[in-house]
Structure 1
Amino acid sequence: MNNKGKGLLALLGLAGGAFAFWKYKNMTPDEKQKLKDKANETGSKIKERAGEVQDTISEKYDQLKNSAKKETNDLKREANDLAN
């Protein structure tokens, strides 16, 4: 992307931010509270989902680690059997 395109994207981003700021400043206190509540709810859902993903990854990691240990032990046992 050339500099002209990057400048246009930056300008659009700045305009979007300015519009969002203006919109927020003109909201009623009730609308602001609803927006804050929705943001907090969304944040809680994201944290909950991230925790679930982390748990799933930890479980998979433990399964792989145990599988690798078992395979290593089996190979060592076979090597010892062949040596004897």
Structure 2
Amino acid sequence: MNNKGKGLLALLGVAAGAFAFWKYKTMSPEEKQRLKDKANETGRKIKEKAGEVEETISEKYEQLTNSARKEANDLKRKANDLTN
């Protein structure tokens, strides 16, 4: 992207931020509370999903580790059988 395009994109970003700030400042206290509640709920859901993903990854890692150990032990056993 050329500099002109980047500048335009930056300008649009600043304008969007200014609009969002103005919109928040003109909200009623009830609307602000609803927005905060929605943000908190979204954050809670993200944390919950991240915990689920972490748990799934840990389980998969443990399964792979156990599988690799079993395979290594099987190979050692086969190597010992061949040398004896």
Q: TM-score, normalised by structure 2?
A: 0.99
Q: Report % sequence identity.
A: 81
CA RMSD after TM alignment? 0.3
Does the residue aligned with 2:27 lie in a helix, a strand or coil?
coil
Matched AA of 1:8: L
Instruction: Point out 4+ residue stretches in structure 1 off by more than 2 angstroms.
Output: none
Say whether residues 1:17 and 2:50 are aligned partners: no
Unpaired segments ≥5 residues, structure 1: none
Matched pairs, number: 84
Instruction: Return the alpha-carbon distance in structure 2 between the equivalents of residues 64 and 2 of structure 1.
Output: 47
Unaligned 5+ runs, structure 2: none
1:1-84 matched pairs, under 5 angstroms: 1-84=1-84
TM-score if structure 1 supplies the norm length? Answer: 0.99
Counterpart CA distance in 2 for 1:82 and 1:57 is 37
